[in-house]
Structure 1
Amino acid sequence: MADLLQLPALGARQAYHALRRDTLADVTGAPVAELSLVPPLFVDRTVQELRRARPLPAAERIAALRRAGEIFAEGTPDGQTVDDYQLAVCRVGGVPMPVVQGATEIIRRACATVQQVLDAARPGGAVSDWRDESTRWGSAVWTRRGEVLGVVAAGNHPGVHSFWLEALALGYRVAVRPSRREPFTPFRLIAALREAGFGADQVAFLPCDHHGGDVLVQATDLSVVYGGDDVVKAYGHDPRVLVQGPGRAKILVGADADWRAQLDTITTSIAHNAGLTCVNTTAVLVEGDHTAVAEAVAELLVELPSLRPELEKAALPVEPLGSAERLDAYLRATSAGANRLTGTGAFHEPLSDGSAVLRPAVLALPSATAGQLRVELPFPCVWIAPWSRADGLEPLGESLVLTAMTGDAQLVDDLLAMPTVANLYLGAYPTTWFEPGLPHDGFLADFLMRNKAFAR
């Protein structure tokens, strides 16, 4: 056990090796790392120390974030190379190597472009500093709603840790409770941030159990919490909590669209990043022959190879065999009544090392109101159903991203006005497309900041 990678907590003073530790195994069952688990009291005390600390000046925060991005992507924070870090994420999380490498660049870019994101998020009539000349005659000043942000993180994709960097740039102190499935990214990122100039009392890494996570949410001023429908139910009513639940991204193929010319957009939306993210398409609604679309999509997705996650051409997620079998059984039960287009065998393919690749699943449904359209799984799994104007817009809602392949301007107006469609793309933009300076589920700053009138 002494040879295992050690991931201590990073409290407000120094690294803390807890007595209680969780051994993290890779997808074959081999132990890889030990994760220190801190008690709730440690969580609460760390948050209080973060609250007492003052943030770095704004310009220093931005400069330190830029340095941290380079250290994360190329350096050796806490003595670990980027190759060793990426291999650990692949082997323990089952995330394909190209996805982990891409996420490394996402985080580097997020650190480099954070000022651009803040500039885009700040209201045009507000300034970020009361010393701005415009406040001599009265101005709105953009200010924090609190001092400490808690993050109860997801483990599906390393890129989720690019999101909370915006809070650090705004002067929040940040405490992250990592997923036990993938603690490697936040540990490396926080170590890089500290090496770049953020003090231990600015950003903390707090592995803990579920009770500790609840304490983190209660102790911090505001929190971002990731999870499924159960998390939405538990925290969705709390105005201090921003819930990042299922994405349920969708594509609408309008009757006026040439879907054959858009097959690459559709398949990319489903399978990019191994189907692991909240912006991967899980439902395609077709104003026309939905079976023909499903058949064409399935023909392309079945070509994806079944490989160990650390290989350069890996494209699909890998799970321990038992976990893959449980997901397979769940999908078989859930898909009753659907027409499966990706063969008749299992939805997973065992490898020789005790793990299994989760294979793409394309399932055609008879109706736009079928309950399966809400089912989101951590691999390329898509439900394809017919849609008509008579079905109304409701089947297209509850979507983090909706790509609409249509030239119908009235329909676009209606979709853009829907409160349950967070982001709307038209034409050849896959649901996985994103650029710095654009909102994800709104800007995080929409939740973190407020405007105050100020005059001097």
Structure 2
Amino acid sequence: MRALDVLGPGGPYRSRRQETLGDFAGNQLATLSLAPSLYVTRAMKALRRAPALPYEARIEAFARAGRAFATETIAGLTPQEYQHTVSTVTGMPITVVRQATDEIAQGAERIRDSIENARPAGAVDSWRDPRARDGAPVWTRRGEVFAVHAAGNHPAVHQGWFDALALGYRVAVRPSRREPFTPYRLITALREAGFGDEGVVLLPTGHDVAGDLLRHGDLGMVYGGAGVVARYAGDRRVLPQGPGRSKVLITAETDWEPLVDTLVESISGGGGVGCVNATGVLVEGDPAPVAAALAERLAALPSLPATDERAVLPVQPLGLARRWDAHLRQRAAGTKAWLGGDGIIDDIGDGAAVLRPAVHQLDSPFAEQLGMEMGFPCAWVAPWDREAGVRPLRDTLVLTAATTDADLIDELVAEPTIANVYVGDHPTPWMAHGLPHDGYLAEFLMRTKTIRR
């Protein structure tokens, strides 16, 4: 078995407390060291004492690390071996892991775009800039150490903390114990590329120690569900990253039939496990034809092992799949099931099951199910009208608005709780490097202060 050590400021550390990681058939593949509280405390203090690399050195190190992550053997694993391991352990389709590998590499190589796009146009990077002689805003960090409680639903989620490291923060990542392979590989590549052992660390912990990272960091970011968001909502030091609740709106003047491919991609792209996958589809008029078309298309997706090149749906241990199925049946009570009403489990043997898509029709745009997310492609299709307005569309990470109503678009763009608006025939998972995901992380990490010299 491979050993995933703590990657601390003094180098790799193998703790006494370890967790075994395996596939759904029970085959053991790796051991993950869990850092004790005292180790985490000392590691965070060491990060605070460590100097940041100069800006250009950070950008160059990111580019080197990105290329290595996607193309080189790191910690004994080739890119292909790493991708196969992640797919085997998580049940994520191998093609999704492969695409995420490329996205992470490109994000690292293009990190300058994200940093420069986020910086206020009038701000300078240093008090040494000649423009500060007569007074200028200088863009500066709000702290020195950034702590991350990372998610494990998708490898590309780790791009979420890139900006902090590029801006000069020293970064501590607590990986998901479900999928620590991506951050282990990525942080190893970053350390070898120039950030060193004290620039970025990997601190796997149990739940009893997890809070230590946030307590000893200046700022932090936490991924989780609605409960996590509520817990940290009042903490100005912590940025919670909760459910996406991404949606598609189709207004009456728009022909929905040419949009079916986009709807299917929005719901099921990348296995349907991301925060950018659409879970709500709102239709001005009768939603039934849209729900029927979606059910027909999604029902045709194949059930295959995650490592099959044709796999497009997530695979989970049979016991967990049954819990998802029971949860869906409970929450979908009273709705019209177009797909998945008689179960979403497809047992493929070896203790694993494919989670099949589900499509349910709601009676109201205010139905509580519209805000629900599942760990597989699941769409809630609801009617919408102008009287309902923007209210059912709030708290949305990505909204695809298939409409030509400029006044409505104005309202959607102005709504503070809608993070991104794609007008027209664009799938919700679409993203581009250098553009904000849920705002720029730098909006949270940085501030401007006037300097005159």
Q: How high is the TM-score relative to the length of structure 2?
A: 0.99
| Counterpart in the other structure of 1:7 | 4
| Counterpart in the other structure of 1:257 | 254
| Counterpart in the other structure of 2:351 | 354
**Equivalent position to 2:89, from 89, 92, 112:** 92
Mapped pair 1:222 → 2:225: no
Structure 1: distance between partners of 2:242 and 2:340: 31
Mapped pair 1:82 → 2:89: no
Q: Superposed, which structure 2 residues align to 1:40-439 within 5 Å? A: 40-342=37-339, 344-439=341-436
| Secondary structure at the counterpart of residue 261 of structure 2 | helix
Structure 2: distance between partners of 1:79 and 1:36: 17
Residue 344 of structure 1, CA deviation: 4.5
Structure 2: distance between partners of 1:80 and 1:382: 37
- Taking every aligned residue pair, what percent have the same amino acid on both sides? 52
Mapped pair 1:22 → 2:19: yes
> Counterpart amino acid of 1:452?
K
Residue 335 of structure 1, CA deviation: 0.3
Residue deviations 1:187-241, cap 9 Å, x none? 0000001111111011000000112211111110000100001111211210000
Asked whether the 8 Å contact 1:339–1:363 carries over to 2, the reply is yes
Structure 2: distance between partners of 1:233 and 1:31: 36
Structure 1: distance between partners of 2:331 and 2:115: 42
Residue 88 of structure 1, CA deviation: 1.1
Residue 343 of structure 1, CA deviation: 5.2
Structure 1: distance between partners of 2:331 and 2:113: 43
Residue deviations 1:340-370, cap 9 Å, x none? 1125532110112110000000111111111
Structure 2: distance between partners of 1:381 and 1:343: 9
Asked whether the 8 Å contact 2:9–2:46 carries over to 1, the reply is yes
Asked whether the 8 Å contact 1:338–1:364 carries over to 2, the reply is yes
Asked whether the 8 Å contact 1:149–1:220 carries over to 2, the reply is yes
- Seen in structure 2, the aligned counterparts of structure 1 residues 344 and 146 have a Cα distance that, compared at 3 Å, is closer
Structure 1: distance between partners of 2:180 and 2:66: 18
Residue deviations 1:43-72, cap 9 Å, x none? 111010000000111110100000000111
| Secondary structure at the counterpart of residue 204 of structure 1 | strand
> Counterpart amino acid of 1:376?
E
> Counterpart amino acid of 2:292?
E
| Secondary structure at the counterpart of residue 441 of structure 1 | coil
Structure 2: distance between partners of 1:139 and 1:133: 9
Structure 1: distance between partners of 2:130 and 2:300: 60
Residue deviations 1:90-134, cap 9 Å, x none? 011111001000100110011011001111000001011222221
Asked whether the 8 Å contact 1:5–1:34 carries over to 2, the reply is yes
Asked whether the 8 Å contact 1:143–1:451 carries over to 2, the reply is yes
Structure 2: distance between partners of 1:397 and 1:345: 31
- Unaligned residue ranges in structure 2 (runs of 5+): none
Structure 1: distance between partners of 2:440 and 2:24: 35
Asked whether the 8 Å contact 1:89–1:182 carries over to 2, the reply is yes
| Secondary structure at the counterpart of residue 351 of structure 1 | strand
Asked whether the 8 Å contact 2:341–2:358 carries over to 1, the reply is no
> Counterpart amino acid of 2:451?
F
Structure 2: distance between partners of 1:72 and 1:78: 11
Structure 2: distance between partners of 1:429 and 1:246: 20
Structure 1: distance between partners of 2:447 and 2:420: 22
Residue deviations 1:62-93, cap 9 Å, x none? 00000000111011121211111111110111
Residue 29 of structure 1, CA deviation: 2.5
CA-atom RMSD, angstroms? 0.9
Asked whether the 8 Å contact 1:27–1:318 carries over to 2, the reply is no
Asked whether the 8 Å contact 2:280–2:379 carries over to 1, the reply is yes
| Secondary structure at the counterpart of residue 155 of structure 1 | coil
Structure 1: distance between partners of 2:343 and 2:187: 40
Structure 1: distance between partners of 2:306 and 2:371: 28
Asked whether the 8 Å contact 1:27–1:320 carries over to 2, the reply is yes
| Secondary structure at the counterpart of residue 341 of structure 1 | strand
Structure 1: distance between partners of 2:7 and 2:434: 30
Asked whether the 8 Å contact 1:77–1:195 carries over to 2, the reply is no
- Unaligned residue ranges in structure 1 (runs of 5+): none
Structure 1: distance between partners of 2:425 and 2:207: 41
Residue 393 of structure 1, CA deviation: 1.5
> Counterpart amino acid of 1:41?
L
Aligned length: 453
Asked whether the 8 Å contact 1:29–1:320 carries over to 2, the reply is no
Residue 247 of structure 1, CA deviation: 0.3
Asked whether the 8 Å contact 2:329–2:341 carries over to 1, the reply is no
